[in-house]
Amino acid sequence: VATPLDLRELAEWLEYFRDREAPEPARVLVVDDDRLAAEMVAALLWVCGIETEIVTDPTTVFEALDRIAFDLVLMDLSMPQIGGIELARMIRQSRRHLSVPIVFLSGEDDAETQMAARRFGGDDFISKRTDRNLLVRLVELRVERARVLRSLIERDGLTGLIDHSRFLERVGQELERGRRTGSNCTLAMVDIDNFKTVNDTWGHQAGDHVLRRLSSALTAWLRRTDVVGRYGGEEFGVLMLDTTPDQAVPVLDSFRQHFSRLDMVARDGAFRVTFSAGIAGSTRASETASLVAAADAALYRAKAEGRDRLVV
């Protein structure tokens, strides 16, 4: 029986086919103690559609890097507060910032200094006298490569969602933010029911399709600010910001019902799938591990009580 495609389903399909690497403007952090020089570089990049943020006090670089996932750091070499090479070394010591390209923009011509800059974590060295077009093209090239690498490192190839460790990192960051601002979040662990049987009955490809469907449907259902990650094989983590479990339950439960009515397509037929979810709300005292453990325990109960349900 053909059923009309409703808007919700259309949104899910768009999500399903959406190119996860849809071009977002490149974001470059310009670090230079000379504000005028920084403003000029920023203006040059802005004309080419590249967003920039300027930091003139290098000691605030980490605050900027923690706040935004920059595609590139364009850094002056000699700054009074702290030298560019030392700063690059410090950035590279943090696991989170291992992959962000650091390109030095400097008037320094000395080959030894340039070598040192590269040795301590710089990826490239551009002279301040370099032709403007060349500078822009170099930045664009670096950004493009950095994005491909980042998505390989952080995203799951099947669903395009952030992976296990990246998800936990986000949970940690949001709990931290919650301690500062007093806001609470809710974590849901979502696990597909009897997924092994789905694979055994309909084949692995159909199983993969279910995983992609669930991730796109879930992403389309939630707010843009909520975080969805592939926690494990057929388990997903959902972090709902500024949300209590009382607020999260109706949203997730209506999604549970909606999802259970979607037809999954396989080569030799269509079938339906359910999931169970364990839900836990954060408090100011929550640590990542304790919040995950609480959601996991609730998920375990949901499975034990018969699956296809949410448990808080």
Among 78, 151, 173, 194, binds ligand GH3 (CB under 6 A): 194
35 versus 196: smaller Cβ distance to ligand GH3: 196
Catalytically annotated residue among 234, 235, 287, 305: 234
Tell me which residues in 178-207 interact with Mg ion (CB under 5 A).
191-192, 195
**Residue 199 binds ligand GH3 (CB under 6 A):** yes
Total residues binding Mg ion (CB under 5 A): 9
Which tokens belong to 258?
A: 């909606």
Which residue type is seen at 234? E
- 234 is known as an active-site residue: yes
Among 132, 204, 272, 284, binds ligand GH3 (CB under 6 A): 204
Give the binding range for Mg ion (CB under 5 A) out of 25-33, 170-178, 242-250, 255-263. 25-33
**Residue 196 binds ligand GH3 (CB under 6 A):** yes
**Residue 76 binds Mg ion (CB under 5 A):** yes
Between the alpha carbon of residue 217 and those of residues 15, 54, 60, 280, the distances in Å are 7, 38, 39, 22
Among 58, 101, 121, 207, binds ligand GH3 (CB under 6 A): 207
38 versus 210: smaller Cβ distance to ligand GH3: 210
Which partner, Mg ion, ligand GH3, none, binds residue 158 by CB below 5 to 8 Å per kind?
ligand GH3
72 versus 192: smaller Cβ distance to ligand GH3: 192
CB of 311 to Mg ion, least distance (A): 15
Q: How many CA atoms lie within 13 A of 16 on its CB side?
A: 14
Which partner, Mg ion, ligand GH3, none, binds residue 235 by CB below 5 to 8 Å per kind?
Mg ion
Exposed, middle or buried: residue 27 (CB in 10 Å: 0-12, 13-18, 19+)?
middle
**Residue 15 binds Mg ion (CB under 5 A):** no
Binding mask 145-184 for ligand GH3 (x = CB under 6 A): -------------x--------------------------
Tell me which residues in 201-240 interact with Mg ion (CB under 5 A).
234-235
Pairing of the two strands 186-192 and 275-281? antiparallel
CB of 203 to ligand GH3, least distance (A): 8
Q: What is the binding site for ligand GH3 (CB under 6 A)? A: 158, 191-196, 199, 204, 207-208, 211, 233-234, 303, 307
Catalytic residues: 234
